[in-house]
Structure 1
Amino acid sequence: MNHHFVREKRIDITRLANGLTVATEQMPEIATATLGVWVGTGSRHETAHEHGLSHLIEHMAFKGTTRRSARRIAEDIENVGGDINAATSVEYTSYTARVLGENVDVALDVLGDILIHSAFEAGELAREKGVILQEYAAVEDTPDDLVYDAFMETAYAGQPIGRPILGTPETIKSFDEATIRAFLAREYTPGKMVLAAAGDVDHARIVEMAERHFGSMPSAPLREPEAGVYSGGERRISRKLEQANIVLGLPGLSFKDPGYYATHLFAHILGGGLTSRLWHEVRENRGLAYSIDSFHWPFSDTGLFGIGAGTAGSDVAELMDVTLATMRQATQDISEIEMTRAKAQMKVALLTALETPGGRIERVARQLLSWGRVIPSDEIVLKVDALTVEQVREAGQRLLHGEPTLAAIGPIKGLPSLARIKSGLIG
């Protein structure tokens, strides 16, 4: 019985006249308020000459407005004990703040200011470009990060969805205020924005403040990003390193695909924890890697399944052989015990994400942007519980018949050819 998942708190939702959605969840046991604005725009919404612009804009939001200096933005939040942050992903950009419930007006005033009135002063822009270039260099010097950028670029070759979020030194250096403001006018439109708040909040008060700070934003037609089309392929980067970092991928599913949950469960059974098959065989039985995991990244119109590991150059061939054999075997004999355990782990992950106001507003905002509604937890759990062993095995078989993507960095001379890997997926 899933009694934990039927106690949904009340979520109040109001849509402003310009299209911006306001969603609140009052949590009487919480003395703080967490608020955030999610924009349905990320790196995949950029054109080629805008590559990295979403991430730069997120940084520049804290570098001064027509009313506040960069220091004043931080002071106004921290003077009331709060904190403020932002993040950029492939499909979303978020700006969040946490304060005492009595200070939600301060948080919303700052959020509205940085989103509507950022100054993009030339000196600040130049300094922040330098910061991002250092961030770019740090990734280039970190093989276990760089390999995932190479992986995405290969899986979605020549497409916005596959490009690294940070951009390139060339594009980063090219951005100016005019480019930033044109992107904001096109992409930061109220119809693809959600203001979510949870904790010690009052819906009517949040709506009133949202109208004050965001109500004057003009509505605009929504622009769909370029469709993501999985391509597959390989990218091998030989470097003199102690360890080879390898990611093997296959076409996955969108979170809107009916087969999403079965695919996600297969990935978890294969490499999602200390009892997973890959961990047991690769790490525990053979000692071929310090860690190995599998993942399924869903997007709005596509998805990507993958396995990531690091190993010594002398072990890359054996690691790949063992991984392929483990994947094949999983499509044949996943057991009821494994299913029960994986379902329980998914439920715990879902509940854990809902135990903080921050987790709750992120879930609400993302679901409203993606589905136009908040999906009750028990609805998700019913879908997971309904999955059968046969459905999950079939999801795995479908994955293994896709075109592979391989990204590898380090001492990788012994890594098998992509053709051999492809034949090894289906035996």
Structure 2
Amino acid sequence: MLFRNSLSVALFMKEKIQRSLLPDGLVVISDQMPEAQSATLGFFCRLGARNEPKHLNGITHFIEHCVFKGTDRYTARELAALQDRLGGNLDAFTSYEETGFILKVTKDRFNDAFDLLAQLITKPQFSNTDCLTERNVITEEIKMNEDSPEELLDELFHKHFFPDHPLGLPITGTPESLTRFDSKTVADYHKKAFHPGNLIIAAAGNLEHHKLVELAETLDFPSNNGFSPADEPPQPAAPVYLESRPELEQTHLMLAMPLVSARDERRYAAEIFTGITGGCVSSRLWQKVREEHGLAYNIGASASFYSDFGFLTISAATSPESARDLLKIVVEELNLLVREGVTSDELELMKDQLRASILLGLEDTANRAATLAQFELVHGHQIPVEESLERIAAVSLDDIMQIAREFLITDKIALIAIGDLKEANLSRNDLEIRKY
């Protein structure tokens, strides 16, 4: 009964989603929640780290940082004070395919939130002094990531899984590329990337769409033209890359393999497959590796979906002498998935988990604003909640088996490991997935 009621609510909320395309190409989308006490506003750019020229690797992330150093109307200190006055719920991020600035406020401060984000997006100053300061900040961020085994493992994965492709370069850039980011270079790139045709304004909560559009029409961009995303699909490799880090207490391992893209109809099956494999505490890998054998404190599988490509990663950390045993158990479980598929109980459990995740997310204005932007970025239109729920419900045991047999292939699996590797003796021979 709860599920049916939730569907009715979803249908009701669908009618309150509105989209406007302004003459300059700017997209404005809102999801109205009259009962909410808050509203979340986001400015999203269709460009991310994968769209950068190689010699400017990291410039999008650099811009994301630098806009907070000052705008035409606010100093850096004034921007910080305004963020805190509005509740301190401002999040900025750079990914491989997008850049975003999201601010959640009480409903009566929505116009103030728009003013703050508009200043960051359209009126940053990018002084030479600020660029130099931010170079130092991001250099320290890079060093911090290198000191984190999990961050380092992820960076090495991208580098070796996507050789000769922008997805293989770090989002932060490198100490060398950062030296190229002077005031003029950064301002020119910002003008060409953050033009209205590349931007989406998404908002959810207690707001009125026509008023949001009126605010958007007041924006004064540095340029109405620039470049747009032109992605080259990656050709992933399947390396075995082992890096000795004897100072680490644990050996950190990651298995990776291709998966469907965000636009593939099989994405729902891929999400369920990932969850059953290692996406939650009842998953096969969690139960086998942690609960049964006690070989890791944490092990998990996660799926990443880009517009034209996807991949599945399995990550864990264990003592050096246990690394090969852990890898053996993981590969055995993958073989079991290919040979036998999953059970009806596992399938229904993950369907319930995904349904709950979607429905619970509807209560959060920030989640709903981000979802609006994601659907617009990837699909160019919204996917109604009830449609997503129906697609999840339609996933069959055979769909999961097909995902397993298409993507769990020995020659397509990469292994990245760092730590004290003397005792591990890891090799491609440990990755055999038999055909059935």
Give the shorter-chain TM-score range. over 0.9
Q: 1:328: which partner in 2?
A: 335
| Counterpart-to-counterpart distance in 1, 2:236 and 2:360 | 32
| Counterpart-to-counterpart distance in 2, 1:70 and 1:223 | 30
Amino acid at match of 2:358: L
The share of aligned pairs that are identical, in percent, is: 30
Matching residue within 345, 353, 366 for 1:345: 353
Q: 1:298: which partner in 2?
A: 305
Question: Could you say what secondary structure the match of 1:317 adopts?
Answer: helix
Pair 1:247-2:254 in alignment:
yes
CA contact (8 A) 1:192 1:369 kept: no
CA contact (8 A) 1:62 1:70 kept: yes
Matching residue within 406, 410, 413 for 2:422: 413
Pair 1:155-2:161 in alignment:
yes
Alpha-carbon distance change, 371 to 164 in structure 1, aligned in 2, over 3 angstroms: same
Q: 1:308: which partner in 2?
A: 315
Matching residue within 369, 372, 381 for 2:380: 372
Shift of 1:221: 5.5
Shift of 1:262: 1.5
Shift of 1:317: 1.1
Shift of 1:267: 1.2
Q: Which runs of 5+ in 2 are unaligned?
A: none
Alignment of 1:24-173 (within 5 A): 24-81=30-87, 83-173=89-179
| Counterpart-to-counterpart distance in 1, 2:91 and 2:397 | 42
CA contact (8 A) 2:324 2:426 kept: no
- Summarize deviations over 1:267-287 as a string: whole Å, max 9, x none: 110111111111111111111
Pair 1:387-2:395 in alignment:
yes
CA contact (8 A) 1:84 1:95 kept: yes
Amino acid at match of 1:386: A
| Counterpart-to-counterpart distance in 1, 2:102 and 2:426 | 45
Larger displacement relative to structure 2 (61-70 or 255-264): 255-264
CA contact (8 A) 1:109 1:213 kept: no
CA contact (8 A) 1:32 1:101 kept: yes
Amino acid at match of 1:7: V
Alpha-carbon distance change, 13 to 169 in structure 1, aligned in 2, over 3 angstroms: same
Q: Which runs of 5+ in 1 are unaligned?
A: none
TM-score, length of structure 2 as denominator length? 0.93
CA contact (8 A) 2:341 2:400 kept: no
Question: Could you say what secondary structure the match of 2:415 adopts?
Answer: strand
| Counterpart-to-counterpart distance in 2, 1:270 and 1:189 | 41
Alpha-carbon distance change, 301 to 416 in structure 1, aligned in 2, over 3 angstroms: farther
Shift of 1:186: 2.7
Question: Could you say what secondary structure the match of 2:242 adopts?
Answer: strand
Shift of 1:425: 5.6
CA contact (8 A) 1:50 1:171 kept: yes
Larger displacement relative to structure 2 (95-104 or 165-174): 95-104
Alpha-carbon distance change, 187 to 53 in structure 1, aligned in 2, over 3 angstroms: same
Shift of 1:358: 0.4
Shift of 1:162: 2.1
Question: Could you say what secondary structure the match of 2:285 adopts?
Answer: helix
Alpha-carbon distance change, 243 to 426 in structure 1, aligned in 2, over 3 angstroms: farther
CA contact (8 A) 1:44 1:90 kept: yes
| Counterpart-to-counterpart distance in 2, 1:348 and 1:155 | 33
Shift of 1:418: 4.1
Larger displacement relative to structure 2 (226-235 or 303-312): 226-235
How many residue pairs match? The answer is: 427
Larger displacement relative to structure 2 (335-344 or 273-282): 273-282
CA contact (8 A) 2:47 2:229 kept: no
CA contact (8 A) 1:400 1:426 kept: no
Matching residue within 260, 266, 272 for 2:267: 260
Pair 1:361-2:363 in alignment:
no
Amino acid at match of 1:407: I
Alignment of 1:275-286 (within 5 A): 275-286=282-293
